[in-house]
């Protein structure tokens, strides 16, 4: 009996190995299909931006190119993304849109898929070897701009008041430093060199963690007057903590205790930004629609042989700078409806509060 079992398992294992050995070649990428299948790997599906991005991608691919998009969640892990690429190869997709954590790992993912002769376009984080077409959001500029704006406003409201920056950061994702936190702080400093960063606490992409971090920060550094959240969850969490502490207020757009700056430009944030009584006043609006289309087009160009599959080619998009003062609410309304499929009417929602 036991023997039999071992034999059985051995056989299954054996089968697993011999199949590839003997059936040879890359058989599974063949197989004629009517319409194109595109594999999309977002860095995570747990954030508004990426969900919207995927939605745009799916609809755009369909109507523009009649292409199917299948999505595998990158789950914030290089390892998962790597497996995802393999799965797409097994699936025999015609192209892969990749947004993963690490340049070097992306390199090897590209190798894998090229071995299976599937083109890849990278997004937001390029290949280390700069070997395939890449779509970059130029966030740093906007982040810097936000820093400048925040600092200017504060000095204008409270001249001579020392600026203390508190960041609910995303230390576990290094790119955030490069594109968001870093430039933002630089922006503030460019206006007021005396500004100090008093605290950087981890928000771990969780509203809850962000809130608790901010609560602690308020105990240690009640003096913070510029609060930066490195993504929507962090910004909203920080704001929640401020509100719980009786802060986070503004009088028709003039912040009382601090100015909160966010990232992503989700409806949740914009509701706060345009609320004259709330101290969150600035955010940068990522544009899922724009990015989704751009990366899809780039991939199709390769598939249609208009651009080479493995040559560096960078295309830049940008984030919208959105603030209570500089961006008319109608524009913002348009923005969330178009970019984030939002059905919220900012004006009414805010008025009803």
Partner 1 sequence: MNPIAAKAQEKKYFSFDFQIIVLVGVLALVMIISAVLTDKFFTYPNIMNVLQQVAMIMLTGSAATLLMISGNFDLSVGMVLAFTGVMHAFMSKNGIPTNVSMILSILIGSGFGLINGYLVAFLKITPVIATLGTMYAARGLAYIIAWVDGGANVTTGLPIDFEVFGRSMVGSVPVFLIIVFIIIAFFYFVYAKTNLSKYAFAIGGNNRAAVLSGVKVSMVILLLYLFVGTLTGFAGMTLASRMGTGAPNVGADFHFDVIVAIVLGGTSIYGGEGSFLGMILGALIVGFVGNALNLLDVMFFYQIVVKGLILLGAVLLTRKIKDTIG
Partner 2 sequence: MNKTAKGSYAGIDLQKLVILGILVFVALVFFSLNNRFLSQANILFILRQSSFVIMTGCAVTLLMISGNLDLSVGSTVALTGVVHAFLCQSGMATGLSFILATGVGVLVGLVNALTVVKLKITPFIATLGTMYVGRGLAYLITDGLIIRDGLPDNFTFVGREYFGPIPIPIIVLIIVILVFLVLEKKSILGKYSIAIGGNSTAATLSGINSGSVVMTLYIIAGAMAGLSGVMMASRLGVGDPNLGIGFEFDVIIAIILGGTSLAGGEGSILGMIIGGLIIGSLGNGLKLLNVFTFFQAVMKGIVLVLAVVLDQKLKSGISIRNKKRIKN
Interacting residue ranges for partner 2, rule: CB under 8 A: 1-2, 4-6, 8-9, 12-13, 16-17, 19-21, 23-24, 26-28, 45, 70-73, 76-79, 82-84, 86-87, 89-92, 101-105, 107-108, 111, 116, 128, 171-172, 174
Residue 343 token pair: 């059905």
- In whole angstroms, the minimum distance from the beta carbon of 82 to partner 2 comes to 6
Q: Which does 76 bind (CB under 5 to 8 A by kind): partner 1, partner 2, none?
A: partner 2
By C-beta, is 169 or 275 nearer to partner 2?
169
By C-beta, is 126 or 288 nearer to partner 1?
288
Q: Which does 165 bind (CB under 5 to 8 A by kind): partner 1, partner 2, none?
A: none
Which residue(s) pair with 226 in the sheet? Answer: 165, 259
Enumerate residues 6+ apart whose C-beta is below 8 A from 174. Answer: none
User: For partner 1, which residue of 212, 297, 310, 337 counts as binding (CB under 8 A)?
Assistant: 212
Place of tokens 């747990």: 46
Q: Do residues 280 and 262 make contact, with C-beta atoms less than 8 angstroms apart? A: yes
- In whole angstroms, the minimum distance from the beta carbon of 305 to partner 2 comes to 25
Say whether 214 sits in a helix, a strand or coil: helix
Say whether 283 sits in a helix, a strand or coil: strand
User: For partner 1, which residue of 117, 161, 216, 334 counts as binding (CB under 8 A)?
Assistant: 216
User: For partner 1, which residue of 224, 240, 242, 299 counts as binding (CB under 8 A)?
Assistant: 240
Residue 333 token pair: 């309304």
By C-beta, is 80 or 313 nearer to partner 1?
80
User: For partner 1, which residue of 202, 223, 297, 337 counts as binding (CB under 8 A)?
Assistant: 202
Q: What are phi and psi of 346, to 5 degrees?
A: -50, -55
- Number of CB atoms found within 10 A of residue 330's CB: 10
User: For partner 1, which residue of 268, 279, 294, 339 counts as binding (CB under 8 A)?
Assistant: 268
Residue 55 token pair: 């939605």
Q: Do residues 228 and 166 make contact, with C-beta atoms less than 8 angstroms apart? A: yes
Enumerate residues 6+ apart whose C-beta is below 8 A from 342. Answer: 267, 336
User: For partner 1, which residue of 23, 194, 219, 304 counts as binding (CB under 8 A)?
Assistant: 219
């Amino acid at each position: 009996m036991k023997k039999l079992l071992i034999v059985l398992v051995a056989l299954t294992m054996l089968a697993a190995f011999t199949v590839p050995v003997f059936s040879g070649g890359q058989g599974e990428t063949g197989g004629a299909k009517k319409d194109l299948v595109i594999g999309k790997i977002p860095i995570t599906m747990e954030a508004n931006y990426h969900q919207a991005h995927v939605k745009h991608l799916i609809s755009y691919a369909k109507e523009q190119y009649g292409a199917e998009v299948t999505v595998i969640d990158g789950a914030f892990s290089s390892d998962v993304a790597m497996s995802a690429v393999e799965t797409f190869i097994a699936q025999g997709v015609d192209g892969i849109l990749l947004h993963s954590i690490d340049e070097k790992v992306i390199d090897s993912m590209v190798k894998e898929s090229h071995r299976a002769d599937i083109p890849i376009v990278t997004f937001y984080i390029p290949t280390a070897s700069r070997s395939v077409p890449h779509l970059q959001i130029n966030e740093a500029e906007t982040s810097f701009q936000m820093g400048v704006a925040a600092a200017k406003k504060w000095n204008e409201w409270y001249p001579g008041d020392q600026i203390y920056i508190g960041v609910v950061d995303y230390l576990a994702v290094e790119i955030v430093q490069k594109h968001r936190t870093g430039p933002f702080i630089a922006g503030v400093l460019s206006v007021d060199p005396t500004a100090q960063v008093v605290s950087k606490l981890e928000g771990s992409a969780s509203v809850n963690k962000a809130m608790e971090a901010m609560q602690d920060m308020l105990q240690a550094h009640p003096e913070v007057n510029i609060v930066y959240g490195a993504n929507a969850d962090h910004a909203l969490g920080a704001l929640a903590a401020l509100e719980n502490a009786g802060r986070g207020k503004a009088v028709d757009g003039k912040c009382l205790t601090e100015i909160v700056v966010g990232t992503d430009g989700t409806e949740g944030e914009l509701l706060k930004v345009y609320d004259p009584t709330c101290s969150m006043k600035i955010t940068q609006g990522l544009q899922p629609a724009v990015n989704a289309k751009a990366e899809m087009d780039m991939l199709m160009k390769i598939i249609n042989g208009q651009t080479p599959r493995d040559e560096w080619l960078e295309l830049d998009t940008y984030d919208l700078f959105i603030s209570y003062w500089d961006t008319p609410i109608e524009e913002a309304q348009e923005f969330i409806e178009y970019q984030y499929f939002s059905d919220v009417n900012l004006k009414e929602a805010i008025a009803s509060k």
